Structure 1
Amino acid sequence: MTTVGGAARADLLMLAVEGMARPLFVLDRDWRFGYINPAGAALLGHTVETLTGRDVWEAFPEAVGGPFEQHYRHVAATGEPAGFEAWFEPLQTWFQVDAFRSEAGVVVTYDDATARRRVEREREEAVAAREEEAARAAESAAAAELAGRHLMLLGDISQAMTATLDIDEAVQRFAQLVVPQLADWCLVSVVEQGRRRDVGRAHRDPAMVEAMHRYADLRARTNSSAAPVPTALREGRPVVIQQLEPEQVEAMTTPAARAALAPLAPSAVATFPLVARGELFGAVTLVTGPARGPFSDAELRTADIASRRAALALDNARLATAQSRVAERLQRSLLSAPVQPDHLELAVRYRPAAQDVAIGGDWYDAFQQPDGATVLVIGDVMGHDLEAAAAMAQLKTLVRAIAYDRQDEPAEVVRRVDRAVAGLDVATLATALVARVEQDDADRGTGVRRLRWATAGHPVPLLLLADGTVVDLEAPVGPPLGMGWMGDRVDGVALLPPGSTLLLFTDGLFERRTGDLDQGRARLREAVQTLAGEPLDVLCDGLLAALLVDGAEDDVALLAVRAHREPSRRAADHPAPAAVAAVGG
């Protein structure tokens, strides 16, 4: 019964395996198919009859040497079960395989995992695609952020460097802006009259600034012709060394400079020439340390653009400075030094408008007539440019020539000058005040002087008396020069007592675009009174400092005359006057 029962159970087991949906085969010790169920044969593209008894490696030679043979032989040799997945090219199928050793041989069950692997691969590819897209987006965002920072840097460079005309200050601003965005440290070289100076200097590490200065102080005079800056200046092109080797450093400079450079540990260096309008006048050197390494392409592109902008800004500053110096020299050459008659002290000041070219139409003049009288002139041509300066030169010459020729009273001088301006077609409009410091025999005997003046639309003068009293010297104010005025012009007359100071000035000294004229005039009187008793030069400088604390909105000319005491020749007959005389016509 046991045998019959055992046979029955074996038959039942065989029926179960035969009908099992999962493929299964058994390989005997000679690697022949001892058994394969229908599902297994069908999955392998065969029938049970065509595979049973066949050598597995002959039936499927493509499996030889691959993962199938490796795993099956390992199971047969060790008895250790194996589970794996492998691709079988002839059937274009991924197999999920489980194998174990039995008394009958190596038992193998397997499934078609191709569909599952395809779904997994598609899922993995989708995840990878999303990750790649996210990486590209992040990279794009980072690139956009970097580009934005570099664009802002270029704007900051343009704004900072055009805000000053001082070359040294401009290049220092450049160096401080590019560090650390483009480099760990920066030196900017400027060439002036054939001499190179390393002016702009900046380092990201405050602890290395002193070492940078030590090296920079040596660099300009120790660089060999092979060094980046001499090469860039000679050839007018950028010099980029992405990995600076010791032998290169040795070829570029002297032992002393190399010793100074060592603590700075340069890794990469990029030098860009400063070229604008075809002229080369400096170079920018950017340096990185070992931690930062080579420059990126974006850094080099931005540095190249930055150097071009810096060059243009520096060239504009140089041109503006040169133009300003020429203009100021021209202006001062037109404003001749005043005379210094006996017992009169004269001081003059000229201040150009703070926001414009240092030349304009304001002028002063002082000269003596043949009879010994001193003529004082203050004037203001509309505008503060070269045209105004040219018109001012013509007016100054006219006033000088006419006043010297006949020694007329100031009102007549102004009238004749105005007629000459109209007759000679001098296209200008100007205010002017002509004054004459004179002494007749009586005044000479008492040691006093008399001031006679006429004004053509010009601010009235101030008189500071010895006791500190400030007096506005009022007189009829005629129309400005250039209007062709045909009416009368009238002189004002006042005494100029010993110790008094006469102040003639243009309206730029007290007038402000946003202020009240009366308030401005009051501030001027207050400043004059505060400075009473000071030497004449101190008085003039103090007035400019007090009234132009925020700079001059308009050109300013100032002429100050101090009457020193002189000995009286007939003091008993002519007592000194005690007050300012009345205005006369």
Structure 2
Amino acid sequence: MGVPDGGGLPDLPDVGTYVVDERGHIVRVSRRAAELLGRAPEELVGRDAHDLLHRDSQGRTLPRARCPMLRAFLGGRTARGDLEWFERGDGSPLATSWLVTPCGLGDGRTGALVLLHRSPSAAAGGWEAAGTAAPLSELDRLALLAETTTRLTSTLDTEEALRRLERLVVPRLADWAVVDLITEEDEVWRTAVVGHEGGALVRREDLEGPLPPVVPDSPMPLSRALRGAASALTGPDAYEVAPDSGVAVVQRALFRATGMHSAAIAPIRGLREVLGALTLGRSAQPVAFGAAELSLLDDIARRAGLALDNARLYQRQRRVAETMQRHLLPQLPGVPGLEMTARYVPAPQASQVGGDWYDAFVLPDGATALVIGDVVGHDLDAAAGMAQIRNMLRAYAWSEGEPPGAVVDRLDRAVPHIAEASVATLVLGRAEPLDGGGWRLRWVNAGHPPPLLVTHDGKTRFLDEGHSPLLGTGLVPGRSDAVAALPPLSTLVLYTDGLVESPGHSIDEGLLRLRQHAAALARRPLGAFCDLLLARVRPSDNDDDVAVLALRIPDGG
């Protein structure tokens, strides 16, 4: 079966028709179908028919797996239905009988033709009679609360938690969701104003931003909620009186801009303090909020408060831990003729503190010590152990004047006495200026990924020599140093395993990726070299912190 060419379809008596392509997007629509659906043709063409139109008997978006029309379309077969619900442009329901059948679109493409008309089987008192979603049953209410708890508590990101909250309540309970949060500086921010328009969530950023201070004795519903008072039902009339505060002025503008005729406002409480307020509003749905829905909003806001409280606590701990970690890492020395830079990226999860570190310092004989290391663990113990090992290594390297292997042997004997650092890996190197010009590296590797040497013309070499057991094994074999020349304009890269290894990537894959990208970036400025190397090489599923220390040799030594 084919369809006529052109942008529209012929009208049939009391029957609307539209055509969807292979993706389910409307490509042609008849005048009668547009009238039935209460939308202009241009509002329909190009839209996903299921997402835009198909609803269940309570006016909620119909899951794709439960949609008989979509199942028939995907199966490439003809099917009909006697009573299905479509959402019209004004949000009101349309009870329809329909038929869907495969058709050709031309140019070898296929789609489906849909015929629909008003259903004579629509029962009085259903969604059509109410003009809005029916009240939730007790089972639906419990299911919504369970979903709210599960979805909000499964993230520790405040913005993601708010996005999930918006999708849970709009349009299931309301046409609008407004979230006002009290910041740690005791300011109030309108964090989200989200509405349901044309079958999709729409954010009104023009209505978001900072709010005026909350007046302590204001009786207005939002001000009371932000002070932690009980939830309340309200409407635009409450804010059409002379405003008693700047908050009331903003609220009046909100009601006018969104067209809300009914709203329910509840405080968002954490364990110790009020975190903000959640407002649900109705504009397209004609039925006002009632006491039962206010009780449901209270339950939702309570769960949102616990989730946001946990997210804030996590973010606060993360900032403290990250600040601590960065203070533990040293400032790089200025060495004439040498260019050095370092990067540290904390683990994306867990405590945000780990045992990865770098260090560089000038030794009494003029050589520059270079260190990269990793204490096993991703917690405060690992960070404390890292700090102790770093300080002991500095002291041994500075005071004894021994080669790297001897310094690390001495450190290895001390590690068992450091309770916070049972096992560690590291590379200790000495960048030594030569009498006749030029530089060389003398190093030892205690169980760590090998340094990478990149020449100016893009040749790469992993410095695999000088390898020995990691620290803390109880084996002290007498480590031997390795020596390599550092050519002019070459770049030496020391790194931790988080750069090249992750649960979904082997270290061999990571080493190859590091080698390829380091070669391609060989002539970039050293800071850009490190930034791009992290962006390109670090695995996307990395769950470890990463430290990188890079050294560039001057031209001509």
Q: TM-score, normalised by structure 1?
A: 0.66
Distance 1:218 1:420 in 2: 55
Aligned residue number for residue 453 of structure 1 = 443
Offset of residue 401 of structure 1? 0.8
Answer whether contact 1:267 1:287 (CA < 8 A) is retained: yes
175, 187, 192: which one aligns with 1:195: 187
Say whether 1:186 aligns with 2:180.
no
Answer whether contact 1:502 1:560 (CA < 8 A) is retained: yes
Aligned residue number for residue 338 of structure 2 = 344
Deviations 1:264-291 (Å, cap 9, x if unpaired)? 4443332211112121121112223485
Offset of residue 399 of structure 1? 0.5
Distance 1:501 1:430 in 2: 25
Say whether 1:382 aligns with 2:372.
no
Aligned residue number for residue 69 of structure 2 = none
Aligned residue number for residue 174 of structure 1 = 165
**Alpha-carbon distance change, 449 to 152 in structure 1, aligned in 2, over 3 angstroms:** same
- For 1:506-525, what aligned pairs fall within 5 Å after superposition? 506-525=496-515
Distance 1:335 1:259 in 2: 50
Answer whether contact 2:453 2:491 (CA < 8 A) is retained: yes
Say whether 1:418 aligns with 2:412.
yes
Offset of residue 166 of structure 1? 4.2
Deviations 1:146-182 (Å, cap 9, x if unpaired)? 3343344334434444455443443344234312222
The one-letter code sitting in structure 2 at the alignment partner of 1:435 is: G
Aligned residue number for residue 547 of structure 2 = 557
Answer whether contact 2:178 2:279 (CA < 8 A) is retained: yes
215, 225, 235: which one aligns with 2:218: 225
Three-state SS of the structure 2 residue aligned to 1:194 is coil
Answer whether contact 2:178 2:280 (CA < 8 A) is retained: yes
Distance 1:143 1:268 in 2: 16
**Alpha-carbon distance change, 252 to 157 in structure 1, aligned in 2, over 3 angstroms:** farther
Aligned residue number for residue 73 of structure 1 = none
**Alpha-carbon distance change, 259 to 280 in structure 1, aligned in 2, over 3 angstroms:** closer
530, 537, 547: which one aligns with 2:520: 530
Aligned residue number for residue 472 of structure 2 = 482
Three-state SS of the structure 1 residue aligned to 2:388 is helix
Answer whether contact 2:381 2:421 (CA < 8 A) is retained: no
Distance 2:418 2:196 in 1: 65
Distance 1:318 1:330 in 2: 18
Which moved further from structure 2: 224-233 or 330-339? 224-233
Which structure shows the higher helix fraction?
A: 1
The one-letter code sitting in structure 2 at the alignment partner of 1:492 is: A
Which structure shows the higher strand fraction?
A: 2
RMSD value, Cα: 3.1
Percent identical among aligned pairs is: 41
**Alpha-carbon distance change, 176 to 225 in structure 1, aligned in 2, over 3 angstroms:** farther
**Alpha-carbon distance change, 156 to 265 in structure 1, aligned in 2, over 3 angstroms:** same
Offset of residue 396 of structure 1? 0.5
Offset of residue 504 of structure 1? 0.9
Deviations 1:231-258 (Å, cap 9, x if unpaired)? 1222x23231366645775456679653
Three-state SS of the structure 1 residue aligned to 2:415 is helix
Three-state SS of the structure 2 residue aligned to 1:471 is strand
Aligned residue number for residue 333 of structure 1 = 327
Offset of residue 205 of structure 1? 3.7
Distance 1:208 1:518 in 2: 45
Offset of residue 368 of structure 1? 0.5
Q: Which runs of 5+ in 1 are unaligned?
A: 1-134, 136-141, 568-585
The one-letter code sitting in structure 2 at the alignment partner of 1:197 is: W
Aligned residue number for residue 273 of structure 1 = 267
258, 273, 293: which one aligns with 2:287: 293
Offset of residue 219 of structure 1? 6.1
Answer whether contact 2:243 2:249 (CA < 8 A) is retained: no
Distance 1:194 1:425 in 2: 42
Distance 2:505 2:201 in 1: 48
Offset of residue 340 of structure 1? 2.5
Say whether 1:471 aligns with 2:461.
yes
Larger Rg: 1
Offset of residue 403 of structure 1? 0.6
Aligned residue number for residue 538 of structure 2 = 548
**Alpha-carbon distance change, 414 to 291 in structure 1, aligned in 2, over 3 angstroms:** closer
Aligned residue number for residue 144 of structure 2 = 153
Which moved further from structure 2: 296-305 or 203-212? 203-212
Aligned residue number for residue 360 of structure 1 = 354
**Alpha-carbon distance change, 213 to 460 in structure 1, aligned in 2, over 3 angstroms:** closer
Offset of residue 421 of structure 1? 1.8
Offset of residue 298 of structure 1? 3.4
**Alpha-carbon distance change, 494 to 238 in structure 1, aligned in 2, over 3 angstroms:** same
Deviations 1:95-131 (Å, cap 9, x if unpaired)? xxxxxxxxxxxxxxxxxxxxxxxxxxxxxxxxxxxxx
Aligned residue number for residue 238 of structure 1 = 230
Which moved further from structure 2: 166-175 or 463-472? 166-175
Distance 2:200 2:509 in 1: 55
Query: How many equivalent residue pairs?
Result: 423
Distance 2:177 2:497 in 1: 48
Answer whether contact 1:187 1:284 (CA < 8 A) is retained: yes
**Alpha-carbon distance change, 207 to 352 in structure 1, aligned in 2, over 3 angstroms:** closer
Deviations 1:282-325 (Å, cap 9, x if unpaired)? 11122234853332343222211110111111111111111111
Q: TM-score, normalised by structure 2?
A: 0.69
- For 1:111-150, what aligned pairs fall within 5 Å after superposition? 146-150=137-141
**Alpha-carbon distance change, 261 to 422 in structure 1, aligned in 2, over 3 angstroms:** closer
Distance 2:177 2:490 in 1: 59
Aligned residue number for residue 283 of structure 1 = 277
The one-letter code sitting in structure 1 at the alignment partner of 2:229 is: R
Distance 1:467 1:204 in 2: 57
313, 317, 322: which one aligns with 1:323: 317
Offset of residue 521 of structure 1? 1.7
Q: Which runs of 5+ in 2 are unaligned?
A: 1-125, 127-132
**Alpha-carbon distance change, 281 to 412 in structure 1, aligned in 2, over 3 angstroms:** same
Offset of residue 527 of structure 1? 1.6
Deviations 1:351-388 (Å, cap 9, x if unpaired)? 22223221100111000111211000111111111111
Distance 2:159 2:549 in 1: 35
Answer whether contact 1:172 1:201 (CA < 8 A) is retained: no
Distance 1:319 1:211 in 2: 27
Offset of residue 405 of structure 1? 0.8
The one-letter code sitting in structure 2 at the alignment partner of 1:547 is: V
Deviations 1:488-545 (Å, cap 9, x if unpaired)? 1110111112111111111121123344433332222112112121111111112111
Say whether 1:397 aligns with 2:391.
yes
Answer whether contact 1:179 1:204 (CA < 8 A) is retained: yes
Deviations 1:46-96 (Å, cap 9, x if unpaired)? xxxxxxxxxxxxxxxxxxxxxxxxxxxxxxxxxxxxxxxxxxxxxxxxxxx
Aligned residue number for residue 113 of structure 1 = none
Answer whether contact 2:236 2:255 (CA < 8 A) is retained: no
**Alpha-carbon distance change, 229 to 432 in structure 1, aligned in 2, over 3 angstroms:** same
Three-state SS of the structure 1 residue aligned to 2:286 is coil
